[in-house]
Amino acid sequence: MKRILILTAALCCLLGLTACQSPEKRAQATAEQFLTAFYAGEYGAAADFCTPACAARLSKVSAVQNAVPDEIAQKMKEAVSETSFKIVFVEVDEEAGTAVVHYALTVPGIEGAVSKQLRLQLEGRAAAVDGIE
């Protein structure tokens, strides 16, 4: 009985900490999950972290990828998977319910990192990618 009580208390504490996560941390966590899936060429998985409008745009990218021959699609996926990113900083506008995540993208064959941005919508305890710039 004590074990169940301790586990329940630990779970409540963990959920409490997650619920209190700052908007910056929520935006950064969502951006990392999205970018990891996106640059692995897993557009369906990346869409799980998007607003419906952004997910629809990714669906079109996925459809194009599925329309090319398997050999070419595999080469495209391999090229994208060698790309890496690093989040530089997060800007949050709590009044507007938005965040912009600035990240550096390293692409094989291109010298230096490329600066990129993700726009996110913040709603309650959730964050969703709304666009890539």
- The answer to whether the Cα torsion of 24, 52, 132, 95 is positive or negative is negative
Residue 102 neighbours by CB under 8 Å, 6+ apart: 87, 88, 89, 90, 91, 115, 116, 117
Q: Give residue 9's pLDDT.
A: 45
Q: Give residue 8's pLDDT.
A: 44
Output the CA–CA distances (angstroms, integers) from residue 34 to 12, 48, 56, in the order listed.
27, 8, 15
For the segment 63-112, what is each residue's pLDDT rounded down to a tens digit? 777 778 888 878 877 777 788 999 999 999 999 999 999 999 998 888 88
Q: How much is the average pLDDT of 44-59?
A: 93
Class level of CATH domain 22-132 = alpha beta
Higher pLDDT, 44 or 31: 31
For the chain, the domains span 22-132
Q: Give residue 32's pLDDT.
A: 97
Most confident of 14-28, 43-57, 70-84: 43-57
